Amino acid sequence: MQTVRSRRVLGAVLALFMTASASAQSSRPAAVQSPRVYVLDGGVLASETARYRLTDADVQEVPISVASFLIVHPRGVLLWDAGAVADHERGGDIGYEQRLVRKDGAERFVKLGKTLTSQLAAAGYKPSDVNYLALSHYHWDHTADANMFAGATWLASKIEHDAMFSADPPGGARPETFTALKNAKTTLITTPDYDVFGDGTVVIKQASGHTEGHAVLYVKLANTGPLVISGDLYHYPAERTLHRLPTFEYSEEQTAKSREAIEAFITRSKSQLWIQHDLVHHRTLKKSPEYYD
């Protein structure tokens, strides 16, 4: 009698284990056959065109967008940039204007979009599903939720990494948003190009000048074609057409050289340029859970 009861208990435990295992399997994102890009909307940042040596008449919209991008590849998942307002410090819902203070004391105001985690979830992903984190640079409006991805491998240029964790981090940063990365598994990039997945479809390209180790991201998509996602190489299209540089570059000379090199690459590779802060273009892009492939 005891044996029969034991078998029943064992069977029930086994059934529970198999159910839990199947549930875990079903919760995993489906595998992809080729790279895809999910556009994540981080809200709208108040701006001043004079900071970019432009006038309001030079641009279609003065405010600028905040964007992050989830790149899903057959060999893993990369998050490019982490927004301006961390999910845990949001003061209100969508459209709420949040005040933030940079390390140098400068105030910035952002009208909130959806939470980053909700946009990942809409695409079928959790922060723990992200294998790699890459930041175009350390400015506050690109690092807000970086600590959430300290379990991923951080891909960072050595010079940018060293600036972020120097004794006196740069004023345009909010160092508290990336403290957890100090102990994260990190790949320090010391080459002009870094091929994330080893097949040439997702490449971090150094484009320094805006910060010490600023970078852009190249993604080759089967249907959409090749893209260059700009980081802060440009903020407004008018910077590109009028050849204007922001007033707050780490090195204006290096930014000019980086722009020239990336423009040449865009021509050679026949890539589209997505200016991350271009609010007009950003509004036209499909957002998660839709994607580009």
Q: What phi and psi values does residue 260 have, to the nearest 5 degrees?
A: -60, -45
- Radius of gyration over alpha carbons of the chain, in Å? 21
d(CA 218, CA 266): 9
Residue in 80, 73, 74 with CA at minimum distance from that of residue 39: 80
Six-digit token pair at 96?
């709420």
Residue in 35, 41, 34, 123 with CA at minimum distance from that of residue 71: 35
10-residue averages of pLDDT along the chain (293 residues): 43 39 50 96 98 98 98 98 98 97 97 98 98 98 98 98 96 98 97 98 98 98 98 98 98 98 98 98 98 98
Residue in 120, 47, 15 with CA at minimum distance from that of residue 77: 120
Residue in 99, 103, 79 with CA at minimum distance from that of residue 91: 99
- Find residue 194's DSSP bridge partners: 204
Residue 98: other Cβ atoms inside 10 A: 16
Report CA torsion sign: 224, 129, 195, 86: positive
d(CA 47, CA 105): 16
* pLDDT at residue 29 in the model: 78
165 burial level (CB within 10 Å; 0-12, 13-18, 19+): middle
- Whether 90 and 115 have beta carbons less than 8 Å apart is answered as yes
Strands (E), 130-289: 132-134, 153-157, 186-189, 193-195, 202-206, 215-221, 225-229, 272-274
What is the SS3 assignment for 108? strand
pTM given for the model = 0.90
- Find residue 216's DSSP bridge partners: 205
Q: What phi and psi values does residue 35 have, to the nearest 5 degrees?
A: -60, 145
- Whether 240 and 234 have beta carbons less than 8 Å apart is answered as yes
d(CA 113, CA 96): 8
Residue in 155, 143, 163, 274 with CA at minimum distance from that of residue 218: 274
